[in-house]
Structure 1
Amino acid sequence: MSIRVRLPRATVALTLTVSAALVAGSPAFAASAPTSLPAGQFTLSANYTKFDALNTALAGKLGTASVSDVMDNANHDRQGITDSLNLAGYSTGFQFDDTDVNDCANFPQGITTSRDAVGTANSGNYDGHQLILVSWYTKDGCGGGTSRSRITLVDWDATYPNKYRKILLVEPTGTTAAPNFKDVLIHAGGVSWYGDYLYVADTGHGMRVFNMAKILKTNTGGTADQIGRQSDTTYYAHNYAYVLPQVGTITAATTSGTSLAWSSISLDRADPSIVMAEYTCSSGCTAYPNRAPRAVRFPFAPGLTTFAGSTTASEALQLPWYKLNGVASHNDRWWFNSSGDKKLYYWTPAAGPSSYSWVSGGESISYWEDTTNPDLLWSLQEPVGHRNVFAVEQASYDG
């Protein structure tokens, strides 16, 4: 037996309007909007010299490599996307090689580009290359705990082959007489490249800082488990040929009573700052906070690619959306990727919020400025078998 319910004409009209808005790429009204929080309750303390002595000693032992050197020795082939992403404004993208796409122990998380690093000058080239940079964390076997983190540098320039190279992230240890390094045990959920500095989200603390001009060469041929100093001249790094040593720390503090969870970060070149967002749940999570998430903007020192010794946030928001893996901001506009909703939320204080259909397993977002072509939003997917890195025209997700 079927039951028919006659709806008022206004209700039918509203239903049709909402249904039409849910078509991929069409904005749908998002009922709740971000609200302002007191920005002054969030601060950063920066230390860019913490590992200077050890890094100088390590460079003397191992020798350095430029980004150009690394890409001249890139040893993995990127490939085209075969999944149907069904995204409005889709522009371009790639997948990693089959081994990385199907690896159940390594997971891509953050994304940034050489356009973040240097802007639009010289076609966004850093050390002669236009690059996409993705951060990963490694589990101790499939299903294990986090054991290390890395980045991949991907050539995105017709001048060069479709290649990429992996670089292990390490923390300097030991003494200046016997310098050493160890794995960086973080989720690496967000990453931002600004000038030479690479900022990597460290969930419970703030950010770790690396310098892309200080890549080190290491010895290959050891076992997959070997890490660090083996002798005065031999250093293994899980068979990685290159390591990127940490140079400093950005430590977060708050007077709000609830520490920030640094789940994702992104660079805003239009208002030189890093924006961060928290991954939280409305309820029921055991590994993540069960509360409303926040997004906070921290400005760089004027004219520099570094933070001042002490920095106070310039903007703070409480957000109505949960399970946020990605954030981006540019010219007073914000984008938030919710992996829980498979939505990309867009918001400005003047226009309010809207939402768009998005990919499953979506991760971080990076804003790509362009002087001759449409600006892009770069993002990526985490799920095994579907490690797509893709770009969409920003204007298709602009309310």
Structure 2
Amino acid sequence: MAGLAGCGPAPELEPGDELTGSEQQALTEGAPLTTHDASCLKLQDQNTWSTYASYMTPVGPAVGLSGVLQDLNRAGPVLTSSSHPPAVGYKGGFRWNDGDMATTDWVPQALTAGVSGSTNVAIVSWHYAPTTAPEKGVRISVADISDMSVSAVNYRHVLLVRPTSSGNFTVVGEHGGGLAWYGNYLYMADTSDGMRVFDLTQIREVDTSTTCDTAIGKVGSVWCAYGYKYVLPQVSAYVVPSTLTSPCRPKFSFLGKDTRGTTDVVLSGEYCNNTGTSCPYDGSTPGLGGRLYRWPVDSSTYRLKTVNGAVTPERAYIMNEPNVQGVAPIMTTTSTTSYWLSSTRYSGALFKVSTSASRTAYLSGSSQWARMPEGMHATGSGTNLWTVTEGYNDSTNPATGGRVVFFVDQAAVD
């Protein structure tokens, strides 16, 4: 079936040829990444950076990420030889405390990592699962992973909020399926519209009295966040213009961070399967048309690179894999044509993919990977590959499907 120009797989080009259009094609699961023409796609900076920052000025003290790291209030036991899930190259990890392992209200989704001062930090997002009011949106867990030889990893939950007016805010009603951390900015996937950006220096302390257990925003003379002590405010967003429609208009299911090459990028990708969740571009093979985009980051500001307020992906691929939940770059090479994909296909899998070879698969059913893996982060040194799982069949046993955060040796799965 004929596709839209600028919205399909890029055909193989001979020297001197130009890319003028494309056709939707049958796709093959496990095939190499297919170069995709994304010239139709732009993101627009909503440019609320100064407005949203000013809205939050009256709200509590700004403690920033460094302040939260000094006030971690939960302990997640470090995994042992008998409690960790099976994974090729496994090196270490932790589970959440008993309450977070068992709760049905919140579900882990994305993971990113970085350094704050001298502290190695993992940040995990959770989406609020109940469909009844009130909507609590997305929270993140800030975890100190500096020393994985200790008995437990300390962490704290922080609620994401969006400023609405001077001195007021509301929840961020999104799935929270992807995170990427650059500088002071935390990027989060906004499934239908693009990416939201949060400023880690603007984490603010709010009230934790019983008044706030069921309230959000300003209540009388205090600010509330459903009982959470800290809020992380949105500062801006990069959105797909409403004029862009399917198949050019993508989904933003997950994010990743890639520091290979000459320009750092935020990676974004689409979740799709062959049952009930299709992708805007699925060719003639539903479930395999999820696309992966590379969005350039300005190294001086850590914001996306814009021209006249618009951001263009520097490259895009069709992944040829279903049920993709996360992405990480293969850091042992400077080439930007190879990745790890985290998938809930086969109840859990890690796929090594590239433009030049069919995938290599590490499957949970073969005791090679954890069940229900989600977001990932590859350390820039090429040593560790981190991932988080959302939990399998309500298990609280970390060895057999309970929620965990763990890392493996990159070389073992390369």
Tell me the TM-score normalized by structure 2.
Answer: 0.78
What is aligned with 1:65? 63
Aligned mates of 1:67, 1:84 — CA distance in 2: 29
Tell whether the 8 Å contact from 2:272 to 2:278 is kept in structure 1 after alignment: no
Tell whether the 8 Å contact from 1:268 to 1:274 is kept in structure 2 after alignment: yes
Aligned mates of 1:303, 1:57 — CA distance in 2: 25
Aligned mates of 2:345, 2:133 — CA distance in 1: 23
Correspondence 1:234-249 to 2 at 5 A: 234-249=222-237
How many correspondences in the alignment? 350
Aligned mates of 2:277, 2:320 — CA distance in 1: 20
What is aligned with 2:107? 107
* Candidates 356, 359, 366, aligned match of 2:377: 366
1:344 matched to 2:350? The reply is yes
Correspondence 1:93-242 to 2 at 5 A: 93-114=93-114, 125-140=115-130, 147-158=136-147, 162-174=153-165, 176=166, 179-221=167-209, 222-231=211-220, 233-242=221-230
Change (3 A) 1:60 1:84: closer
Consecutive unaligned residues of structure 2, counting only runs of 5 or more, are 1-27, 281-285, 364-368, 397-401
What is aligned with 1:19? none
Structure 1 position 186, deviation (Å): 0.4
Aligned mates of 2:228, 2:279 — CA distance in 1: 32
Q: Which runs of 4+ in 1 moved over 4 A?
A: 143-146, 253-256, 286-291
Further displaced range: 32-41 or 267-276: 32-41
What is aligned with 1:326? 326
Change (3 A) 1:320 1:163: same
Q: Which amino acid aligns with 1:70?
A: V
Aligned mates of 2:351, 2:192 — CA distance in 1: 25
1:301 matched to 2:301? The reply is no
Aligned mates of 1:130, 1:31 — CA distance in 2: 34
Consecutive unaligned residues of structure 1, counting only runs of 5 or more, are 1-28, 115-124
Aligned mates of 1:202, 1:171 — CA distance in 2: 13
Deviations 1:144-188, CA, capped at 9 Å, x for gaps: 8964111110011239973111110000012x3xx2100100000
Tell whether the 8 Å contact from 2:40 to 2:248 is kept in structure 1 after alignment: no
Tell whether the 8 Å contact from 2:52 to 2:235 is kept in structure 1 after alignment: no
Aligned mates of 2:233, 2:154 — CA distance in 1: 23
Aligned mates of 1:145, 1:323 — CA distance in 2: 29
Structure 1 position 303, deviation (Å): 4.5
Tell whether the 8 Å contact from 1:41 to 1:256 is kept in structure 2 after alignment: no
Aligned mates of 2:31, 2:231 — CA distance in 1: 44
Tell whether the 8 Å contact from 1:139 to 1:145 is kept in structure 2 after alignment: no
Aligned mates of 1:390, 1:362 — CA distance in 2: 10
What is aligned with 1:392? 408
Aligned mates of 1:287, 1:235 — CA distance in 2: 41
What is aligned with 1:74? 72
What is aligned with 1:21? none
1:267 matched to 2:257? The reply is yes
Change (3 A) 1:392 1:315: same
Structure 1 position 110, deviation (Å): 0.6
Secondary structure of 2:56's partner? helix
What is aligned with 2:90? 90
Structure 1 position 320, deviation (Å): 1.6
Aligned mates of 1:345, 1:186 — CA distance in 2: 27
Aligned mates of 1:348, 1:76 — CA distance in 2: 39
Aligned mates of 2:386, 2:59 — CA distance in 1: 37
Tell whether the 8 Å contact from 1:228 to 1:236 is kept in structure 2 after alignment: yes
What is aligned with 2:16? none
Aligned mates of 1:31, 1:149 — CA distance in 2: 33
Structure 1 position 60, deviation (Å): 2.8
Secondary structure of 2:69's partner? helix
Change (3 A) 1:113 1:57: same
Tell whether the 8 Å contact from 1:40 to 1:314 is kept in structure 2 after alignment: no
Secondary structure of 2:39's partner? helix
Deviations 1:288-321, CA, capped at 9 Å, x for gaps: 7754211111111354411123221111111221
Aligned mates of 1:343, 1:162 — CA distance in 2: 25
Change (3 A) 1:223 1:369: same
Structure 1 position 139, deviation (Å): 2.2
Structure 1 position 35, deviation (Å): 1.1
Q: Which amino acid aligns with 1:353?
A: R
Structure 1 position 62, deviation (Å): 1.5
Further displaced range: 191-200 or 130-139: 130-139
Deviations 1:5-63, CA, capped at 9 Å, x for gaps: xxxxxxxxxxxxxxxxxxxxxxxx9752221111322222223x415334324223422
Tell whether the 8 Å contact from 2:32 to 2:354 is kept in structure 1 after alignment: no
Aligned mates of 1:145, 1:389 — CA distance in 2: 28
Tell whether the 8 Å contact from 2:45 to 2:237 is kept in structure 1 after alignment: yes
1:380 matched to 2:388? The reply is yes
Tell me the TM-score normalized by structure 1.
Answer: 0.81
Secondary structure of 1:224's partner? helix
> Which of these two proteins has the greater Rg computed from alpha carbons?
1
